[in-house]
Chains A and B, each alone.
Chain A
């Protein structure tokens, strides 16, 4: 047993960055104690914010035209740009490397829809309140209603990749189902944004 504990310690040492983040999500029930609905709603979004601000989401919702990668959100190497359809420039298109599924030997993530979120949906560097306002704004969320937004976060398989990102990547906190439940609870409490 001594060995297992120490091996875990070594693992922690080398992944210090990722382990500084919480790996779990609180359930909506956890917030039931907050009497004020608006406060509760904002708190639910704040919890969801752990997902939205995880590198798995921010890396492809960047501020500019270049995706990021890794736990530290460095600029994607090789340098790629979103291009007209969010899938790269002619010389380097996303799906050339990003196949239909993660390819473990190359540590490269994959999904058949792999692409950059549209520019208006970038939330790198923004506060949770700003992200919240943006995510509710149909002009900046891909024309989604709140219900569609709940489905996007709770069911979309590209979003779902964030919870099974492959070797060397810390998954987004919790599960996609838990994140979906938070979105629904947030909507049901008035979709109030945190300050």
Chain B
């Protein structure tokens, strides 16, 4: 058993004890009822369970939750799909996903949203050239599986957010 504390979407959780074999996915879904983070494969291969980890150095990355113990998240600050909008106000990326009809069944959406958001924040810090943008998006999203959409609209949705503010995201 490990005692953990963490911040989820800005809110402090814990201290609570978790079994060392409890996955972060089950901690979110079964213990906290945060079911916006999905369970797809349980093997880290589809990334529909990915959440954002905000590191102390100010950078962020996504992590699958189905193959990582909840105990490993002790002391971490994370964001899930439930935490993007503030006071009901959607983020630019959430809006763009809707505008582009980016998802169909929506089960992979949380993972794509988290990955896309991390990408936007990374580009805001380290912009890329327009010529490299498609590959940058493709590299970021390639770990995420979607069975409905063929991925094109997800790519278009994040690209359009970037192109709407080129001074911020592009060199």
Contact = CB atoms under 8 A, between A and B. Distances in A.
Direct contact of A and B (CB under 8 A): yes
B68 A97 contact: yes
Contacts of A90: 61, 122
B30 interface: no
B67 A106 contact: yes
28 contacts: A78-B44, A78-B46, A78-B47, A78-B142, A78-B143, A78-B145, A79-B143, A89-B139, A91-B61, A92-B143, A93-B61, A96-B61, A97-B44, A97-B63, A97-B64, A97-B67, A99-B68, A99-B69, A99-B72, A103-B69, A104-B21, A105-B67, A106-B42, A106-B44, A106-B67, A106-B68, A108-B44, A108-B68
A96 B67 CA distance: 10
Interface residues of A, number: 18
The 3 closest A-B CB pairs, nearest first, are: A106-B67, A78-B143, A108-B67
A90 B139 CA distance: 9
Contacts of B42: 106
Interface residues of B, number: 28
Interface in B64-123: 64, 66-69, 72, 115, 118-119, 122
Given A106-B43, A106-B44, A108-B44, A91 B67 contact: no
Interface string B136-150: 000110111100000
B23 interface: yes
A144 to B, nearest CB: 32
A151 interface: no
B97 to A, nearest CB: 18
B68 A91 contact: no
B61 A108 contact: no
Interface in B11-28: 21-23
B45 interface: yes
B107 to A, nearest CB: 17
A71 to B, nearest CB: 15
A30 interface: no
A33 to B, nearest CB: 47
Nearest to A78: B143
Contacts of B142: 78-79
Contacts of A20: none
Contacts of B140: 91
B21 A108 contact: no
Nearest to A97: B44
Interface in A81-95: 89-93
Interface in A146-185: none
B165 to A, nearest CB: 21
Contacts of A77: 45
A183 B75 CA distance: 43
Report which residue of A77, A89, A96 has the largest number of chain B beta carbons within 10 angstroms of its beta carbon.
Answer: A96
A105 B43 CA distance: 9
A67 to B, nearest CB: 13
B61 A103 contact: no
Contact of B45 (A78, A96, A105): A78
A189 B62 CA distance: 50
A157 to B, nearest CB: 19
Interface string A91-124: 1110011010001111110000000000000000
